[in-house]
Amino acid sequence: MSRKTSFLFTILVALVLAMPLAARGVSANTSKSTNATMDILSQVSLAGKQLKPGTYSISADDSKVTVARDGKVIAEAPVQWKDGTSKARYSNIVTVGDQVKEIHFGGKMRYVEIAE
């Protein structure tokens, strides 16, 4: 192998090894959300919005929870993530009175607490 070919081969190997590291850096900066479909059986309130009984899509990211029905956003609220003591068996909403206070996601230890 000539010096020029050897040099090009070394550069190519370095680029191939660097690509996964660069990709990991890009994906680490993207916000991931946790999603679930939940049935609400009685009217509740989230961030001043009334959620009537029905099936909703719930999505929580690093800073907020979004509640949608039939593709339309009904309510959003700021959240804080908390560590649970065990994984939730089912996705569920915890209320105090008619106010949503926590949302737990099935199979996850972490849950969201509605920030006030």
Task: Give the residues of the chain that fall short of pLDDT 50.
Answer: 15-16, 19, 21-30
Say how far apart CA 116 and CA 101 lie, in whole Å.
9
pLDDT at 25: 44
Q: What's residue 26's pLDDT? A: 41
Domain housing 79: 34-114
Looking at the structure, tell me whether residues 25 and 40 fall in a common domain. no
Does residue 40 share a domain with residue 12? Answer: no
C-alpha to C-alpha distance for 99 and 36, rounded to whole angstroms = 19
* Same domain flag for 23 and 75: no
Query: 7 and 47 share a domain?
Result: no
Q: Are residues 46 and 19 in the same domain?
A: no
Q: Full-prediction pTM beyond 0.75?
A: no
Residues 39 and 85 in one domain: yes
Same domain, 11 and 56: no
The model's pLDDT over 38-59, given as tens digits with 9 standing for 90+, comes to 999 999 999 999 999 999 999 9
Residues 82 and 98 reside in one and the same domain: yes
Report whether 17 contacts 46 (CB < 8 A): no
Residues comprising the chain, all counted = 116
Counted domains in the chain: 2
